[in-house]
């Protein structure tokens, strides 16, 4: 069954070349000496130097990180609550509307979400800036968090919670001491997902950001609209590097954790 025919080898090679070559080319050209981005003129880190001195980019990066940390943390709290309500909440008035509002933002075109939030902020007279971007990002990323967390809650052995309640825990203590540690990996990946979604978002941020706050994607977009630029290549390379290191180390940690868990379970089975 596991024969890899020449056809399969070719599709894997071509497929992954298609997925990765564009980024590899971008990274290589970020070390190009020439200002003309398509002509190779020798290796240089010149554009990284210019990037570090570009205060507009640094300011935008700082705003982006502030927005991403705040909104993903808020989204994780709200999304975990929402997941708990969906999976454990039982029946309540307006449950269908609630689950609809959780799933709808996942498929909503960003232009519509952005437009509607902007019209709300203007309607209630809220000045656009960091706060409005945080509110917007929290709203759509809490839905992603709640999908990730609720899929973990569904496969969770409920009798563990019931045991804690029987042994005298309050509802909140049972959640804090039993449920939360078990669903923690899902909560953490929900936070990471919310964080990257916020870092990445251009469209919703463009609608909800005012002149006082510019995020990095807005800055990049307005720069690349005019064409390819070596500074943006350097910036992209840094961002790709951070993400790659982050994702690979996260997956190594989770692999180690699952190995340890397996060992513990085997040990427990042996002593039992």
Partner 1 sequence: MQRLALIAVPYAWLLALFLIPFVIVFKISLSDIALAIPPYTPTLKDGFGPFFSALDFENFAFLASDDLYWRAYVSSLRIALVSTFLTLLVGYPIAYAMARAPEEWRPTLMMLVILPFWTSFLIRVYAWMGILSQEGFLNQFLLWTGVISTPLTILNTNTAVYIGIIYTYVPFMILPIFAALDRLDGSLIEAAEDLGCSRFQAFWLVTIPLSKNGIIAGSFLVFIPALGEFVIPSLLGGSGTLMIGKVLWEEFFNNRDWPVASAVAVILLLILIIPIILFQRNQQRQAEDEA
- Binders of partner 1 among residues 48 to 77 (CB under 8 A) are none
Site mask, partner 1, residues 248-267, x = CB under 8 A? ---x----------------
Q: Which of 3, 42, 157, 269 is the binder for partner 1 (CB under 8 A)? A: 3
Q: Which of 42, 168, 211, 227 is the binder for partner 1 (CB under 8 A)? A: 227
CB 174 within 8 A of CB 161: yes
- Restricted to residues 80-99, the positions that interact with partner 1 (CB under 8 A) are 81-82, 84-85, 89, 92, 94, 97-98
Could you say whether residue 78 binds partner 1 (CB under 8 A)? yes
As given in the structure block, the two tokens for residue 219 are 């800055």
Q: Which of 163, 180, 247, 259 is the binder for partner 1 (CB under 8 A)? A: 247
- Restricted to residues 146-185, the positions that interact with partner 1 (CB under 8 A) are 146, 171-172
Could you say whether residue 244 binds partner 1 (CB under 8 A)? yes
Q: Nearest approach, Cβ of 264 to partner 1 (angstroms)?
A: 21
Could you say whether residue 196 binds partner 1 (CB under 8 A)? yes
Could you say whether residue 239 binds partner 1 (CB under 8 A)? yes
Q: Which of 87, 120, 126, 130 is the binder for partner 1 (CB under 8 A)? A: 120
Q: Which is nearer to partner 1, 51 or 102 (CB)?
A: 102
Stretch that binds partner 1, among 160-168, 179-187, 233-241, 261-269 (CB under 8 A): 233-241
Q: Nearest approach, Cβ of 121 to partner 1 (angstroms)?
A: 9
How many beta carbons lie within 10 A of that of residue 114, not counting itself? Answer: 22
Stretch that binds partner 1, among 45-53, 177-185, 244-252, 262-270 (CB under 8 A): 244-252
């Amino acid at each position: 069954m596991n024969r890899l025919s020449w056809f399969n080898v070719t599709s894997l090679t071509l497929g992954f070349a298609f997925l990765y070559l564009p980024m590899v080319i971008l990274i290589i050209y970020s070390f190009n000496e020439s200002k003309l981005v398509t002509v190779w003129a020798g290796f240089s880190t010149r554009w990284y130097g210019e990037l570090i001195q570009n205060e507009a980019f640094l300011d935008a990066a700082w705003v982006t990180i502030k927005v991403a940390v705040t909104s993903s943390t808020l989204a994780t709290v709200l999304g975990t609550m929402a997941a708990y309500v969906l999976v454990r909440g039982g029946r309540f008035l307006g449950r269908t509307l609630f689950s609809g509002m959780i799933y709808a933002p996942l498929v909503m075109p960003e232009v519509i979400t952005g437009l509607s939030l902007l019209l709300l902020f203007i309607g209630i007279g809220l000045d656009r800036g960091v706060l409005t971007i945080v509110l917007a990002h929290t709203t759509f990323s809490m839905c992603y968090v709640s999908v990730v967390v609720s899929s973990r809650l569904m496969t969770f052995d409920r009798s563990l919670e019931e045991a804690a309640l029987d042994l005298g825990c309050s509802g909140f203590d049972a959640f804090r001491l039993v449920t939360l540690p078990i669903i923690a990996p899902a909560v953490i990946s929900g936070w990471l997902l919310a964080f990257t979604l916020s870092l990445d978002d251009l469209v919703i941020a463009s609608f909800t950001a005012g002149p006082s706050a510019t995020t990095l994607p807005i800055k990049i977009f307005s720069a690349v609209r005019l064409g390819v630029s070596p500074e943006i290549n350097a910036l992209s390379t840094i961002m790709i590097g951070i993400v790659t290191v982050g994702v690979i180390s996260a997956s190594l940690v989770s692999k180690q954790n699952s190995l340890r868990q397996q060992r513990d379970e085997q040990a427990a089975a042996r002593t039992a």
